[in-house]
Structure formats: C-alpha cells, structure tokens
Copies of this chain bind each other. A is one copy, B any other.
C-alpha cells in the first residue's frame, strides 16, 4: 500500500565521542523513507531542499525506492541544516546550529499522484504544517502516524493539540510524553494522551526500548543491547519508518500487527545508531535485517504460557 512521508530532508553535522562529520545527509523524511523501504516497494516523500542539496543524494534516495515527485527544490535557497554534539552518555546533546533556510517558508504541496496514499507518516515538523498536509489530502488515509518533539510543546502547544485530534498514532519519547500530559508516570501519561485524539501511543525510551499503548493494552519492545551507540541521530525517525513501513507492507493495522511493526522499527533503529547519519541504512541487506529481527525475537522470547488465574 502506498506510503506518504512528510518531513525534513536536510544536512546534519554531528559530533559524538567517536568522531565528527562535515555536512552529511539527514532529515526526518530521509531516515523514515530509508527505513520504510526495507519492507515496502515505495515511499513517497513530500519535502523541500535548496539548490545546494546534492544530486547524488537524490539519486541514492531514488535507488532506495524513494519517490521524490513531492520534493520541492528551490535552486536559489539553502537546505535546512542542523548541527549537534552528543555528550558522553549519548542520551543528551547540545544543538550547535539550526539554520531553517528553505524550511522557514515550507508550504507542503501534495502531488496528485500521492493522493491515493493509505498510510501517512507525519515526520517532526511544525504541527500547523502537519495539519495542513492532512487537510490537503482528498481522502483521509487509513492510518496517520505523527511524530513531534518538545520544541513544539514549548512554542506551539495549542496547534499541536489541534493536530493531535486528527491522527491515529502518536510517537514521542518519554520526556515528551511527560511534558504533553503533565504526568510523571508513563502509564498515567499514556491514559491522558489517549484522550487527546490518538488511538495508539508509542513512547520511545531510547536504549530502554519502546511502549505501545491503546486504551486497553500495553506492549513493550526492548532496544537491542549494543556494545556501542555510535550516533543516535535519526534513530527515532528510523524507528517510525520501520513501524509504518511494516504496517503498510502487511496492510494490517490491528494492535497485534502494531506489536510486530514496533519490533521491526526497533530493529531498524538498532542499525541506524551503528554509524554516522544514514550511512548504515543505505548499505543494509535484506539478510542483515532478517538476522536482526531474529535477534529481537531471541532477546525477549520465553515460554511461559498464560494460564487462568
């Protein structure tokens, strides 16, 4: 089924305890689409870049079955740029630079050929823009998944709450869930957020895994214990891409299948952090993905049967 991804296509410059990069290819839509296309024949992107965005990067994306018909190129402007430095624990980072450039006036246009999309992934962007995308679609997709971040909670909480009402799945991290709900306990936070619009909530806990809530159930997926986390940039987007890519490929949006989708998303995220930026995602083989998913199965599998009590 067709997947529409809206989000940034960008340059990142990253510094970690393991090294630093010059400007490399990044952006939420890039990570999401590169991850989703491991399970899906095609991912359709809506985004914007400047004339400085390399043709080779676009060709790389096309080679990974990413459709760029919805990628606006503004020849005389510059691509969105983010630069950050991770601390030793890899859980916290400082933003060194944010240059909005083309993103400052981004007005997403949905190509006619995208209008039949059944799965919509709203990558992290201003909530008002995310809402505009939903409104610009002729038919409501079968499933809308939304990512966002604390930044929008700080400066645009009301717009965020408006957009929230329109989506099916919200994917945020633990601190964002606490900020959005005003509750410290993630169980309480989930209960509150599930009254705000989404029917499903994913709370990402980084190296501590992810929780999936609906109004009745909770599912937990671990993160793979890794010897080293080389660069966490894009891990959350890669997770979301694996999640929606798997759902779109299997055409099943039941809670049971969302569990499988979260395991697939977690497996993809575990690759993402092994190298800088998109480096690890672009050279992944189907075989490696399958092996990694097996590792996840083995990591949590035990044979205790549910018995009546």
Question: Which A residues form the contact surface with B (CB < 8 A)?
Answer: 88-89, 184-188, 205, 208-209, 211, 217-222, 225-228, 256, 259-260, 263, 287-291, 293-294, 296-300, 302-307, 309
A44 to chain B, nearest CB (A): 27
Given contacts A187-B226, A222-B222, A288-B309, 12 further A-B contacts (CB under 8 A): A88-B184, A185-B226, A205-B208, A208-B209, A209-B220, A218-B299, A220-B222, A221-B302, A222-B300, A256-B303, A263-B302, A290-B309
Question: Which residues on the B side are within 8 Å of A89 (C-beta)?
Answer: 184
B299 touches A260 (CB 8 A): no
Out of B217, B228, B289, B302, which one reaches A185, CB within 8 Å?
Answer: B228
Which 8 A/B pairs are nearest by Cβ-Cβ distance? A290-B309, A208-B208, A259-B302, A220-B222, A291-B309, A294-B306, A187-B227, A300-B300
Instruction: Give the CA-CA distance A205 to B259 in the complex, in Å.
Output: 23
Question: Which residues on the B side are within 8 Å of A185 (C-beta)?
Answer: 226-228
A82 to chain B, nearest CB (A): 26
Secondary structure call for the A interface: mixed
B287 touches A309 (CB 8 A): yes
Instruction: Give the CA-CA distance A266 to B17 in the complex, in Å.
Output: 34
Instruction: Give the CA-CA distance A299 to B209 in the complex, in Å.
Output: 13
Out of B187, B293, B300, which one reaches A220, CB within 8 Å?
Answer: B300
Question: Which residues on the B side are within 8 Å of A217 (C-beta)?
Answer: 298
A285 to chain B, nearest CB (A): 9
Question: Which residues on the B side are within 8 Å of A184 (C-beta)?
Answer: 88-89
10 contacts between A and B (CB under 8 A): A88-B184, A186-B225, A209-B222, A218-B225, A218-B299, A220-B222, A221-B302, A260-B303, A287-B309, A294-B306
